């Protein structure tokens, strides 16, 4: 009897290989606990290079917990999870530190060093992530400040900037180390609608260089204005 099993074509095999190479985040049936409470159950999704992905849900639904899981602050209880090439089910503390050098993290409350200028905030991140050559640091700071349209504000202190400008500094800081992934937790929670739109538009531009951006938000107005892929968390479950 003839073998009727369908074999993938060369093009299909290449497509599957390319998809695997482009994956920067992969979760399969992951459970997440916080203080012995199950907050996320049976979570599965993937993110590719250059994708903008929104994580939406009500306040307290678990959006921040998902981001903390991805940068290693919360350990997964079950399942399979790969982030930027790291298996977080088996990762040691030294692996988590290495992982974070491949990520950029943007917080709602900015978390800038208030006693340092914009330039010094970025220079600090470059040095702690392993940059040593001053000329290379100078060049990279110039690049990221231009990307966020703050090239004339390098000498300013954080308190001299608007909320939107401070968040742009945070994004520049997240970009310094050329991350594979940017994780942004309610990045426009303290900003007005027009400034929020500008920040999300900037995230969209960043993905065009191949960096994946995952944004936790409850700002559905912006999500509708700049549509992209959506992951919704509800009752501890994730729906796409």
**pLDDT tens column, 189-206:** 888 899 999 999 999 999
Helix H segments across the chain?
10-22, 63-70, 93-100, 118-128, 134-147, 163-175, 193-207, 220-225
Helix H segments across 23-162?
63-70, 93-100, 118-128, 134-147
Domains of the chain in start order, with CATH, are 22-102+181-240 (3.40.50.300), 106-178 (no CATH)
Q: Which residue in this structure is represented by tokens 């960096």?
A: 211
Answer for the pair 129, 105: CB distance below 8 angstroms, yes or no: no
Q: Check pLDDT > 80 for residue 32.
A: yes
Q: Tell the burial category of 96 from Cβ atoms under 10 Å away from its Cβ (0-12, 13-18, 19+).
A: middle
* Euclidean distance between CA atoms 43 and 30, whole angstroms: 5
Average pLDDT of the residues in 34-57: 94
pLDDT of residue 4: 46
83 CB-near residues (< 8 Å, 6+ apart): 24, 25, 70, 71, 72, 99, 103, 181
**pLDDT tens column, 151-168:** 999 999 999 999 999 999
Question: How long is the chain?
Answer: 240
Q: How many CB atoms lie within 10 A of CB 2?
A: 4
Give the pTM.
0.86
Report how far apart, in Å, the C-alpha atoms of 11 and of each of 8, 16, 22, 48, 74 are.
8, 9, 16, 19, 39
* Euclidean distance between CA atoms 115 and 173, whole angstroms: 16
**pLDDT tens column, 121-136:** 999 999 888 888 999 9
């Amino acid at each position: 009897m003839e073998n009727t099993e369908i074999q993938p074509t060369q093009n299909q095999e290449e497509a599957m290989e390319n998809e695997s190479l482009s994956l920067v985040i992969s979760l399969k049936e992951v459970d997440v606990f916080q203080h012995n409470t199950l907050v996320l159950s049976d979570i599965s999704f993937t993110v590719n290079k250059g994708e903008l992905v929104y994580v939406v849900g009500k306040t307290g639904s678990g959006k921040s917990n998902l981001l903390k899981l991805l940068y290693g602050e919360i350990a997964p209880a079950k399942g399979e999870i790969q982030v930027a090439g790291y298996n977080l089910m088996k990762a040691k503390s030294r692996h988590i530190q290495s992982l974070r050098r491949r990520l950029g993290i943007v917080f709602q409350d900015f978390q800038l060093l208030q006693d340092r200028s914009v330039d010094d905030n970025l220079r600090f991140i470059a040095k702690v992530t392993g940059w040593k050559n001053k000329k290379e640091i100078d060049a990279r700071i110039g690049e990221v400040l231009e990307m966020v349209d703050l090239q004339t504000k390098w000498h300013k202190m954080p308190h001299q900037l608007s909320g939107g400008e401070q968040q742009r500094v945070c994004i520049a800081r997240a970009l310094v180390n050329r991350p594979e992934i940017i994780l942004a937790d309610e990045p426009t929670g303290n900003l007005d609608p027009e400034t929020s739109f500008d920040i999300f538009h900037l995230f969209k531009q960043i993905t065009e260089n191949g960096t994946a951006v995952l944004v936790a938000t409850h700002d559905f107005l912006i999500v509708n204005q700049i549509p992209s892929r959506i992951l919704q968390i509800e009752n501890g479950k994730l729906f796409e």
